């Protein structure tokens, strides 16, 4: 029995239940693959179910306002995925009669679909023999074949892609690709691979040579920068001020409390006063420190200092947000916020003194 066949048998016996697996129609596979980038399966499942209930077809997604899509994506992070999915849905409806293309290269012309996602969709939804190459696949095969090339290099990814073509062509492409990804997630894990339950063990070079934890080879992680951010929960007539981030920014299209980066030597409260003046034109005074929230993004970390503020004067003008709005606490939950702001909101609704 070939290792490819052993992998597929293992996958059939051990695969986890996922809603897009029981009904792998192209739209479902597409949505799931967009959600699964940088995100664990268990986190994705409830988001996927809510998303498909609200947008059951590509047409319903294309016709929905982006704000609705972002609201359903709230908390999942990497919001460019949601913006790209929404934009691509419009293109599929307009340019492809609402039918997702099946071809690997054509899929990559859609926003948000790189080689990995395109390979996953074309193989899982359409059965085309294109190998997927993601972090799990790179880990499994650098170990399996004993490859010490740096996996952050394009040349290494390309070499593995080419080497996998004959394998994916020899069996069911959907089961093969999903099998490797599942093996990487469940068995050939980064730190504690369970080689004794691995269907590839008898041919695995890293297992035979004792090099498992030396692979894969990759660049050392760079130190993650940290920023202090001050934001103001600015109150006027029992409403709070929120701003919408511009679509070309990180977290674009989401709403947030106005504020910005702390500068060397400033008090965090002074940062809040300065940033709100610069971003909204309003002069404010700080009433109290409200809460401190720590949050990690993929490439940096923040500590967010939130203050309760009252308006002293000035003309409201959206200087860096695409839009500013005064909203009541009853309505604020209908807007999509990034995670750190969401934590501020949770504190806000508990702090009844803020209502007066």
Query: Using the rule CB under 6 A, which residue among 115, 129, 173, 193 binds ligand SF4?
Result: 193
**Length in residues, the chain:** 356
What is the smallest separation between the CB atom of 204 and ligand SF4, expressed in angstroms?
3
| Beta carbon of residue 191, minimum distance to ligand SF4 (angstroms, whole number) | 12
Among 195, 217, 250, 318, binds ligand SF4 (CB under 6 A): 195
Residue 100 neighbours by CB under 8 Å, 6+ apart: 26, 27, 30, 58, 92, 107, 121, 125
The distance from CA 350 to its chain's CA centroid, rounded to whole angstroms, is: 29
Q: Among candidates 332, 276, 352, 349, which has minimal Cα distance to 307?
A: 276
d(CA 288, CA 307): 6
Is there binding between residue 185 and ligand SF4 (CB under 6 A)? no
Q: Residues 99-138 vs ligand SF4: string with x where CB under 6 A?
A: ----------------------------------------
Residue 207 is a binding residue for ligand SF4 (CB under 6 A): yes
User: Quick check: 198 binds ligand SF4 (CB under 6 A)?
Assistant: yes
Is the Cβ of residue 206 or residue 345 nearer to ligand SF4 in the bound state?
A: 206
Least Å from the CB of residue 207 to ligand SF4? 4
Q: Does 69 help bind ligand SF4 (rule: CB under 6 A)? A: no
| 176 is a site residue for ligand SF4 (CB under 6 A) | no
Residues 6+ apart with CB under 8 A from 121: 26, 29, 30, 33, 100, 107, 113
Phi, psi of 170 (to 5 degrees): -85, -10
Q: Is 164 in the site for ligand SF4 (CB under 6 A)?
A: no
Residues 52/80/226/337 CA torsion (nearest 10 deg): -50
Q: Quick one: which of 80, 21, 92 has its CA closest to 55? A: 92
Task: List binders of ligand SF4 among 134-163 (CB under 6 A).
Answer: 140, 143-144
Among 61, 187, 240, 251, binds ligand SF4 (CB under 6 A): 187
| Region from 48-56, 201-209, 285-293, 319-327 binding ligand SF4, contact rule CB under 6 A | 201-209
Stretch that binds ligand SF4, among 19-27, 195-203, 243-251, 320-328 (CB under 6 A): 195-203
The nearest distance, CB 149 to ligand SF4, in angstroms, is 17
Task: Name the active-site residue from 33, 74, 182, 275.
Answer: 33
Rounded CA-CA distance 29/7 in Å is 21
Q: Is 20 in the site for ligand SF4 (CB under 6 A)?
A: no
**Cβ atoms within 10 Å of 344's Cβ, excluding its own:** 20
Q: How far is CA 281 from CA 243, 284, 317, in A?
A: 13, 10, 6
Stretch that binds ligand SF4, among 90-98, 206-214, 253-261, 298-306 (CB under 6 A): 206-214
CB of 161 to ligand SF4, least distance (A): 18
Residues 6+ apart with CB under 8 A from 165: 129, 131
Q: How far is the CB of 209 from ligand SF4 (least distance, A)?
A: 10
Is 33 catalytic? The answer is yes
Distances in Å between the Cα of 301 and the Cα atoms of 75, 226, 230 are 16, 5, 14
Task: Give the binding site for ligand SF4 (CB under 6 A).
Answer: 140, 143-144, 187-188, 193, 195, 198, 200-201, 204, 206-207, 212
Residues labelled as active-site residues: 33
């Amino acid at each position: 029995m070939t290792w490819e066949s052993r992998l597929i048998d293992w996958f059939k016996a051990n695969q986890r239940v996922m809603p897009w697996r029981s009904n792998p129609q192209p739209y479902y596979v597409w949505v799931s693959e967009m959600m699964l980038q940088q995100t664990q399966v268990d986190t994705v499942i409830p988001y996927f179910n809510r998303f498909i209930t609200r947008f059951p077809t590509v047409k319903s997604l294309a016709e929905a306002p982006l704000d609705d899509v972002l609201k359903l994506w709230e908390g999942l992070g990497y919001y460019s995925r949601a913006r790209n999915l929404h934009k691509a849905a419009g293109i599929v409806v307009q340019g492809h009669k609402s039918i997702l293309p099946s071809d690997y290269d054509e899929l990559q012309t859609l926003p948000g679909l790189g080689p990995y996602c395109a390979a996953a969709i074309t193989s899982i939804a359409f059965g085309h023999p294109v190998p997927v190459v993601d972090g799990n696949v790179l880990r499994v095969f650098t170990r399996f074949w004993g490859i010490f090339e740096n996996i952050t290099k394009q040349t290494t990814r390309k070499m593995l892609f080419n080497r996998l073509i004959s394998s994916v062509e020899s069996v069911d492409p959907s089961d093969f690709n999903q099998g490797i990804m599942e093996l990487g997630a469940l068995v050939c894990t980064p730190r504690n691979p369970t080689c004794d339950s691995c269907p590839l063990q008898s041919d695995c070079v890293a297992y035979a040579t004792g090099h498992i934890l030396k692979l894969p080879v990759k660049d050392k992680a760079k130190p993650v920068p940290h920023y202090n951010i001050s934001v103001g929960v600015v109150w006027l007539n029992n409403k709070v001020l929120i701003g919408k981030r511009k679509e070309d920014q990180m977290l674009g299209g989401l709403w947030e409390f106005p504020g910005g980066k702390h500068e060397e030597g400033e008090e965090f409260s002074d940062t809040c006063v300065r940033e709100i003046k610069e971003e909204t034109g309003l002069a404010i005074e700080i009433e109290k420190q409200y809460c401190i929230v720590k949050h990690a993004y993929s490439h940096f970390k923040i500590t967010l200092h939130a203050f309760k503020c009252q308006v002293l004067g000035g003309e409201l003008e959206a200087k860096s947000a695409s839009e500013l709005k005064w909203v009541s606490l009853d309505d604020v939950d209908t807007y999509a916020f990034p995670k750190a702001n969401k934590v501020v909101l949770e504190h806000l609704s508990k702090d009844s003194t803020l209502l007066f």
